[in-house]
Structure 1
């Protein structure tokens, strides 16, 4: 067996059972829980490949998730067993690319995703060139066949808006707003009636600026098309965009 491949596996997987606290009232996995899965297995694999959080910290660098795009063919249900697979896919400019797939117990692919990450210098918060990462033995496989999309600012006809302050439960170990909180905030702009009739078939997230403790936040939702909506999450004081999300919907 190739020692390099054994020590630095191209793929990493987890088989897990969907818990009751990870599903909605339809007993389907929530998008928030799905994004938690993706982020956690990405951290875990990066650690195994020796460029995890603690490895980069020694260099004075840190990982930042920039973009994610998810295609949902079917959301798993409570107690269902699924297998999550991830792999780094190479680089595109300053972005490090990582893909994901989720399979049910019959081997059917039910979710596919791609993500784009930045490595920033702790002192300057400027991107680190990807040269250090580009010679890894990447898998020749793409979950979606393209990189995560960049979203543009939507038209100015909001159908929902709210304002609130960042709370202590929103803050992660880096003392910024946890990435998944943005998905949660956006998801909560929809009514229970909406989720009785629709489920997400596509989710795109662009993380543009970090949210911090005591920030005041505005969350605004726009109808982008009959089956699409865009959510803008901004700093209420500076109006700077923190996160932009697109949801594609299909009827239940």
Structure 2
């Protein structure tokens, strides 16, 4: 698709929170928060001629490698929020994208995301085939107080769940959607702190893709005000998550 006439390097999109996106307390689910951030990033990429359809001309797609989310508060049902996004860096096969969520003129969420260009035929990363000079980069404009965390995979953890990847876990790239990993981990927790909005930040590292019918094990451990997880397939880590509580 051609670059949109109204393309800008900093893009904002308004969303109204619907009840399907909310926890029983009426506040936005953390998983749905991640979905809204990524949908906004996708809209910006489409306006700039780097959509999934554009990239598929070269058998390429963006896949998420790391994501940090810092939450001051969550919006609730019927709230209208604005998500703003821009590219902090884009070189070779990697891109760093920044996102913020605003409610009534107040920033309530900041997120830093690290993406890789993935060849959907060869199933490996490679340099971006599309031009991107029209995207101004903002390396000094960061949306979070802390940068990405490289999560420690060696900490003691116990098995808390097992699952098989099913059709509803898959996305358009035909592997488990990144938000599903977060969902599987959160489902193993006591839900009360989540409903009380006590989760202040979380980091996710995506290490290997999971495909239909893969069998995985979920391991968890905790320290003071922190939960951590790994998801493993055949004893090899595919995903790591760190939750930081207030």
Q: TM-score, normalised by structure 1?
A: 0.87
Q: Residues 91-106 of structure 1: matches in 2 within 5 Å? A: 91=90, 94-105=93-104
Closer, same or farther in 2 for the Cα pair 1:196/1:101, shift >3 Å? closer
Gaps of 5+ in 2: none
122, 125, 129: which one aligns with 2:123? 125
State the shift of 1:196 in Å. Answer: 5.2
How far, CA to CA, are the matches of 2:195 and 2:56 in structure 1?
Answer: 45
Shift of 1:94: 4.0
State the shift of 1:145 in Å: 5.8
Question: Match for residue 48 of structure 1?
Answer: 47
1:145-164, Cα deviation, whole Å (9 max, x unpaired): 66422212141243x51112
224, 242, 249: which one aligns with 2:245 = 249
8 Å contact kept, 1:154–1:230: no
User: Structure 2: how far apart are the matches of 1:196 and 1:137?
Assistant: 38
CA distance in 1, matches of 2:86, 2:188: 32
SS at match of 2:198: strand
Contact 2:97–2:114 (CA under 8 A) maintained in structure 1: yes
Query: 5+ residue gaps in structure 1?
Result: none
Q: CA distance change for structure 1 residues 131 and 173 in 2, over 3 Å: closer, same or farther?
A: closer
Q: Deviations over 1:32-60 (max 9, x none)?
A: 10011011111111111001111111123
Deviation, 1:131, is 8.6
1:170 has 2:169 as partner = yes
Give the Å deviation of 1:6: 5.6
Contact 1:90–1:134 (CA under 8 A) maintained in structure 2:
no
Change (3 A) 1:35 1:198: closer
Distance 1:164 1:35 in 2: 22
What do you get for the CA RMSD once the two structures are aligned? 2.3
Aligned residues of 1:71 and 1:201 also touching (Cα < 8 A)? yes
- So what's the TM-score if we normalise by structure 2? 0.89
Report how many residues are paired: 242
In the TM superposition, what is the alpha-carbon distance from 1:133 to its structure 2 partner? Answer: 5.6
The correspondence of residues 18-57 of structure 1 with structure 2, limited to 5 A, is 18-57=17-56
- Tell me how far apart the structure 1 counterparts of residues 79 and 7 of structure 2 sit (CA, whole Å): 30
